[in-house]
Amino acid sequence: MIEVQHLIFDYPGHRALDDVSFSIAAGSITALVGPNGAGKTTLLRCIAGLQCGTSGFVRIDQVDVADSPRDAHALLGFLSDFFGRYETLTVRQSLAYFGASYRIDQLQQRVAETLSLCRLTEQADTLASDLSRGYRQRLGIAQAIMHQPPVLLLDEPASGLDPEARDELAELLVTLKDNGTTVVVSSHILVELEAYSTHMLVLRDGRLVEMSPLGSVDNRTNLAIGVTSNVEALRQSLSATPGFTIVEADDGVVIGEYDRADPASLAQLNQQLINDGHSVYRFTEIENNLQEQYLRLVTR
């Protein structure tokens, strides 16, 4: 659905994106993460066709964003970190205005559908200026999806939201995904992203560090291996095992990272330890959450 190839973007005296290439499949939610200044917002704006790269290309459903910006804009919705609202319009009027700009047929029906989808029906006749932060974010997303785009780009949508509003935002994004929308979300709130993301795209210093399904970055897994025998002997055996990196060894348990996550390799490692004379009583995979994956990738 989204294809980015060899994208370079230069600001005066600074390269914001440096040969970035990746593809995003339809019907996924990709968490776009990275340190401040990594190039996340610039990347979203390039995908949205609001900025053009120095070289490389971006395609949305085979449409080149630079060559055919109007066609590309029809395929995507974009909500920036700071977005404008028509404060003197109601929620319903705001959606009708955006819908009219896209020349949507059966406009009032589409307004009603979007109000329902974004859980704004009860606020339909409320002025945009009177909405809470959470409802303003919902209105922003509703405006971005009025024309039913297959791609939705969100830059820090949970910024400033309380926990309840964040949960409601997560539910909305999952609903959009289930309806076939491809979503890319930039955020610093990794716990929130983990609640609904299917993939993680990591940028650092304008370069792509990783693009992988969540839970399988680098095909690695974290293991906790416990023995009733000498833990130092276990540590030495694991240190000599190709692909195994020890993180901690204490109280008869070694915790480490193994670069083979498939069941056959894990079974082989377990059997190898038993054959080496270790009395293994624990051989457990430890859940590798988004924050752990992110920290490992940006610090390696």
pLDDT tens-digit series, residues 188-235: 777 778 778 888 899 999 999 888 777 544 466 778 899 998 888 998
For residue 267, count CB atoms less than 10 angstroms from its CB and return exposed for 0-12, middle for 13-18, buried for 19 or more.
exposed
Question: Does 47 share its domain with 138?
Answer: yes
Question: Does 78 share its domain with 172?
Answer: yes
State how beta strands 221-227 and 253-258 pair. Answer: antiparallel
pLDDT of 246 reads 83
The domain total for the chain is 2
* Domain end position, chosen among 213, 236, 255: 213
For residue 178, the number of C-alpha atoms closer than 13 Å in the C-beta half-sphere is 8
* Domain end position, chosen among 163, 182, 213: 213
Asked if residue 28 lies in contact with residue 198, where contact means CB atoms within 8 angstroms, the answer is yes
Question: Does 54 share its domain with 182?
Answer: yes
Instruction: Please name which of 150, 129, 151, 154 lies closest in space to residue 141, comparing C-alpha atoms.
Output: 154
Question: Does 128 share its domain with 158?
Answer: yes
Alpha helices in the chain, H assignment, sequence order: 40-47, 69-73, 91-101, 107-117, 133-144, 163-178, 190-194, 231-239, 263-275, 290-299
CATH of the domain at 269: 3.30.70
Read off the pLDDT of each residue in 119-145 and give the average, rounded to a whole number. Answer: 94
Inform me whether the pLDDT recorded for 249 exceeds 80.
no
pLDDT band at 96 (very low <50, low <70, confident <90, very high): very high
pLDDT band at 169 (very low <50, low <70, confident <90, very high): confident
pLDDT per residue as tens digits for the range 20-64:
999 999 999 999 998 889 999 999 999 999 999 999 999 999 999
Amino acid at 276: D
Highest mean pLDDT among 24-28, 126-130, 254-258: 126-130
Instruction: Please name which of 157, 121, 123 lies closest in space to residue 141, comparing C-alpha atoms.
Output: 157
* Domain end position, chosen among 213, 246, 273: 213
* Mean pLDDT of the residues in the chain: 89
